[in-house]
Structure 1
Amino acid sequence: MTGHAIRVILADDHTLFRDGLAALIETDPAFTVVAQCPDGTSAIEVITRDVPDIAVVDIEMPGPGAHAVVTAIRAAAPTVSIVVLSMHQDAELLRSLLDAGASAFLSKTVARDQLIAGLHSVQRSPDNVLLSTSRDSISHALDSETPGPPNLLSPRELEVLHLLAEARSNWQIGRELGITESTVKRHLTNIYAKLGAVSRVDCVRKATAFGIPGV
């Protein structure tokens, strides 16, 4: 525990399900549900404005699709752990949401204890990905065609990436390399584009997946 409750925002278009989920989550005193959203548009607005610790997002809501919702939240509020709930076991959907930056993909059929444990897991280890789906879905997602290697990073971009992987701030990276923060931001923009990343965490994840040494 960090001395304060872990703040959770729920997004689902079924009011009864949201209320029940909120009550279930708050049976663990570590968590407090601070807001509920009925659609993708309000989910993006509320989550990026209030920046909770965890966002629990249903895969099917009115408004932008799940991929768009996860992408928007990850870009605007990269510290939020995004837990996607779904009744589907689609491998392409799973891969798409993980690529967009989802922290966990959980079936709506999970038991209470599994859900609570999952929320604790993404809070405790935000760089890890938690999956609760069928073995076939995971296998198909891993076996599906992977993108080719990214455009070659420059030596300076590799230096920035290595320091980013050490969780250095832009200021710390700039000081280490003797460049300004604005230059660091420009390098990060280029790195994100080359790796197809949407956040610092996603950038390190993609670099690791591409096998870039030193990350």
Structure 2
Amino acid sequence: MIRVLVVDDHTIFRSGVGRLLQDEPDMRIAAEAQNGAEALEQVRGHAFDVVLLDINMEGRSGLEVLASMRALARCPPVLVLSMYPEEQYALVAVQAGASGYLAKDSEPAELVRAIRTIAGGGQYLSARMSGRVQDQLRGLDDRPPHQRLSVREHQIMLMTIRGMSVTDIAEEMMISVKTVSTHRANLLAKLGLGSTAELVLYAVRQGLVH
């Protein structure tokens, strides 16, 4: 039996996944969490075969939660789900340690297939994205600047866009203020931007936030 933890801050979405999986004889929703803190508590205390993790939650983002899960002694495979197109976050999610990425508007059958693949030790990306991500990992394509950020720079970018201060980010990520400032300066330089306001505008134009 594939035990699934669903992490999403929308009750309706969690309920929908539960109804979808109840018809599958080899899997079940073992637990739910509506934020990062609850997700980490569940993973520390229970065994799961797959975690379905929303990338865009209130408070800590899915990428931040994923990083914390990966630091645990026992981290189950994670399938990142998002309303954002795969082109925006699939590579970042894989680089951060996710076993797969799936857009929330995918067909239900594809979600079931992805869960089975990841539970079996595989990696799952849609057929459309698999080749593109492999090219990206080899540096063969012409990616937009934000897709060239490191995972940590990407996390700091998202937290900055949410309005968090350098001090708040340092406390959240458990690193020094100086380190955050250095990463922030580096990511702005890579994006060719000069301020937080320009970063927010860039994120909106690139569809990184709604």
TM-score range, shorter chain: 0.5 to 0.7
Q: Which amino acid aligns with 2:64?
A: A
Partner of 2:49: 53
Structure 1 residues 68 and 139: alpha-carbon distance in aligned structure 2, compared to 1, 3 A threshold = same
CA contact under 8 A between 1:106 and 1:133: conserved in structure 2?
no
Aligned position for 1:86: 82
Q: How much is the aligned-residue C-alpha RMSD, in angstroms?
A: 2.5
Aligned to 2:115: 119
Q: CA deviation at 1:59?
A: 1.0
Secondary structure of the 1:76 match is: coil
Deviation of 1:42 (Å): 1.2
Report the equivalent of 2:202. none
Q: Which letter maps to 1:8?
A: V
Q: What SS does the aligned partner of 1:88 have?
A: coil
1:10 to 6, 15, 18: 6
Q: Secondary structure at the residue paired with 1:130?
A: coil
TM-score normalised according to structure 2 size: 0.59
- Return the alpha-carbon distance in structure 2 between the equivalents of residues 86 and 50 of structure 1: 24
Partner of 2:178: none
CA distance in 1 between partners of 2:128 and 2:59 (Å): 27
2:85 partner SS: coil
Cα drift, residue 35 of structure 1: 0.9
Q: 1:92 to 1:78 in 2, by over 3 A?
A: farther
- Distance in 2, matches of 1:93 and 1:39, equals 19
Cα separation, partners in 2 of 1:26 and 1:141, compared to 1, 3 Å: farther
Normalising by structure 1, report the TM-score.
Answer: 0.58
CA shift for structure 1 position 67: 1.5
- The answer on 1:130 being equivalent to 2:124 is yes
1:15: Cα distance to partner?
Answer: 0.3
Shift in Å, 1:100: 1.5
CA distance in 2, matches of 1:26, 1:146: 39
SS of residue paired to 1:17: helix
Could you tell me how far apart the structure 2 residues matched to 1:62 and 1:111 are? Answer: 25
Partner of 1:99: 95
Q: Are 1:37 and 2:33 counterparts?
A: yes
Aligned residues: 141
Cα distance per residue 1:20-57 (max 9 Å; x no partner) = 11110121011111111111221122123213111001
Instruction: Decide which structure has the larger Cα Rg and report it.
Output: 1
Q: Using the alignment, how far apart are the partners of 2:86 and 2:111 within structure 1?
A: 20
Q: Judge conservation of contact 1:57–1:84 (CA < 8 Å) in 2.
A: yes
Distance across 2 between alignment mates of 1:133 and 1:66: 23
Letter in 2 for 1:111: E
Amino acid at match of 1:85: L
Indicate which of 65, 70, 74 corresponds to 2:66: 70
User: Equivalent pairs: percent with the same residue?
Assistant: 28
CA change 1:10–1:51 in 2 (3 A) is: same
SS in 2 for 1:101: coil
Structure 2 CA distance, aligned partners of 1:90 and 1:113?
A: 18
Secondary structure of the 2:95 match is helix
Q: Where do 5+ consecutive residues of structure 2 fail to align?
A: 151-210
